[in-house]
Amino acid sequence: MNSTLSGPIANTAGVPQGRQTKKLTVELGYIIEKCELNDFIIEFSFASHDCIDDICNVVNWAFRGKPSSTNQLEIYCGWICEEHLVSGKRILPHQLKKYIDRMEQNKHNPDEVIIVVKLINKDLADKKQIVGSIQISLYDSTLQPLEEKENGIAVEFGLVAVDPDYQSKGIGTLMYGVAVNISKEYFNAKRVYLLVVSSKTNQINWKIRQGFTHTGRYVSFPVDSEHIPKVDTELLKLAVLTKILA
């Protein structure tokens, strides 16, 4: 895999425990990294306002199912789909806009970023298709038990989604790797958290195989007028998983 790292990033000193990290300045739409995957180029960039509709589509397809190209009434789902558990969109454009607005407002000292994944056909380099997203946010230390705080700064990954048409092709693994690098180098994170619907045992087991630990803690699923449970809310509680970033 060939990759290049670029961006408006500068070295900085004086970080905790003498660790040298890099200062992250968020320029919306800026390309962070590129790599090759089979016949495609995968591009990772900061989300921008002109990506909002496409990001929402990918996230909602991944979590709620994607209409068939031949029959709009037929929905097919990827392995993280929650369509059978809860109604409503996973994210709406106005919600995503708030995240991106905050990225822009706090560009010199961001507490969260959204990375978008674009697929580029080598024969059609001017055409880019958004196929994935991941959000990195500083984790609220008040939610951590003492033994987890001892590791230092922690982040949480959210909006982790890959277009169902492109799942199981290695894109999610590449996206996760880029998110880990950003977390370690620019947030100085030593630990990452994930929230997974507790009844999605296939996802939990997969993350455990990736090195995550089930903390045994749970948080309630955010039920509101946009998200109506289709099952007992006990099946919707979110398991807290964590992993130390080596």
Give the pLDDT mean for 55-63: 95
pLDDT tens for each residue of 142-191: 999 999 999 899 999 999 999 999 998 999 999 999 999 999 999 999 99
Res 230 pLDDT > 80: yes
Going by the DSSP 8-state scheme, the letter that residue 118 receives in this structure is E
| Helix residue ranges, H only, the chain | 52-64, 93-105, 146-149, 171-186, 201-209
Whole-angstrom distance, CA of residue 162 vs CA of residue 141? 29
**pTM (predicted TM-score):** 0.87
d(CA 147, CA 145): 6
Could you give the count of Cα atoms lying within 13 Å of 7 in the half-sphere of its Cβ? 25
pLDDT computed for residue 246 by the predictor: 80
Mean pLDDT within 1-8: 40
Question: Among 6-10, 29-33, 114-118, which is the least confidently predicted range?
Answer: 6-10
Residue-wise pLDDT for 77-105, tens only, equals 666 788 889 989 999 999 999 999 999 99
Q: Are strands 21-24 and 66-67 parallel, antiparallel or unpaired?
A: unpaired
Domains of the chain: 3-188 (3.40.630)
pLDDT of residue 76: 57
In the block, tokens 């990195």 appear at 136
